[in-house]
Amino acid sequence: MNSIYLGMIEKALYGYLPSTDCNEGKLIKSMKYSLEAGGKRVRPRLVMEFNALCGGKNETALPFACAVEMIHTYSLIHDDLPCMDNDDLRRGKPSNHKVFGEDTALLAGDALLTLAFEILASDKTAKLAGEKASRRAVNVLAKYAGCKGMAGGQMIDLLSENRSVPVETIFELIEKKTGNLIQAACELGCIAANADEEKIKAASEYGKNIGYAFQIQDDILDLTSTDEVLGKPVGSDEENQKSTLVSLLGIERCKELVREYTSQAVASLYRIGGNTKALSFFAMDLAKRVN
């Protein structure tokens, strides 16, 4: 993907954070700590790439990109909490609650979630993208992040601990917990560019398929990688006795599924047209990632 997007995204993300020189400064520092942890910035980069593919301007897409990354970051903060996955490491650094405490980490996640929608609904975003696009972006992100999307997927994940669940439930978990926010990013990029419905639908299918590939690869790495390489504790699924596609289908079959979903993602790009090389390579790189 275009590396220039990373610099633009980083600058815009931190620009949306308030000053820490206030009574609630600890909360803002906690928000900033997790945003600064970096990562691959998969979701905001997808927003930018699909926006460009559909002929949109970078300036218009940046609020959409920042909003989806804030939602993602909040979900990671909450995911690491002792009441959830109880992980001490995230991206090679101590989890938010290990640095700021569980109470502040919880509030930091809440604050990032609400800041995302403040950005999308702002007058500035509406002026850049148009009121219709801004309103639709709020609706899309809320739908994919809510009880029938990412949050619902997290609930299914928690309910899957210490019990055997059918493979169909695992696919639903992956689609909601991981895939839905990636789908949202792809759709948001098209919406920012005022693309037609066919392009939005094709982008959504791309996101759904790389969401499957991404999470299945993540589950493979959870068994085969190390804490140092992965940047977070490995073996957590096994420790929490969670059913995964790897535990149900085996590593070799899961590697095949990663390849299949990646191919389907790339195929969906042909319906959008234009120069899809960057997005094709991105899907293939995610399938081969080691962290």
What is the model's pLDDT at position 171? 94
* Rounded average pLDDT over 49-56: 96
- 48 vs 247, residue with greater confidence: 48
Q: Which two tokens stand for residue 283?
A: 């899907």
- pLDDT band for 161, please (50, 70, 90 cuts): confident
Let me know: does 75 contact 181? Beta carbons within 8 Å. yes
Read off the DSSP letter of residue 166. -
From 88-92, 139-143, 154-158, the region with the lowest mean pLDDT: 88-92
* Residue 19 pLDDT exceeds 60: yes
Q: Supply the pLDDT for residue 163.
A: 84
CA distance from start to end of the chain: 17
- Grade residue 4 by pLDDT with cuts at 50, 70 and 90: confident
Query: Which residue intervals of the chain are DSSP H helices?
Result: 4-15, 25-35, 42-53, 58-80, 96-100, 102-120, 123-129, 131-145, 150-159, 167-174, 180-192, 197-224, 227-230, 236-239, 245-249, 251-269, 277-288
Q: Mean pLDDT in the chain?
A: 92
Indicate whether 238 pLDDT > 70.
no
pLDDT in the model for residue 234? 56
Percentage, residues of the chain above pLDDT 70: 93
pTM greater than the 0.85 cutoff? yes
pLDDT at residue 196, as a whole number: 96
Q: Where do the domains of the chain lie, and which CATH numbers do they carry?
A: 4-288 (1.10.600.10)
Query: Residue 288's pLDDT band (boundaries 50, 70, 90)?
Result: confident
Mean pLDDT on 213-237: 73
> What pLDDT sits at residue 241?
65
| pLDDT over threshold 90, residue 229 | no
User: Is the pLDDT at 2 greater than 70, yes or no?
Assistant: no
- Tokens 């999308």: give the residue: 120
| Position 232 confidence tier, pLDDT thresholds 50, 70, 90 | low
With a cut of 60, say whether residue 219 has pLDDT above it.
yes
Least confident of 15-24, 171-180, 245-254: 245-254
Name the band, by pLDDT with cuts 50, 70 and 90, for residue 23.
very high
pLDDT tens-digit profile of 90-127? 888 999 999 999 999 999 999 999 999 999 999 999 99
Question: Mean pLDDT throughout 34-46?
Answer: 90
The torsion angles phi and psi of 93, rounded to 5 degrees, stand at -120, 160
In percent, the amount of the chain with pLDDT more than 90 equals 78
Q: Which of 29, 1, 215 is nearest to 104 (CA)?
A: 29
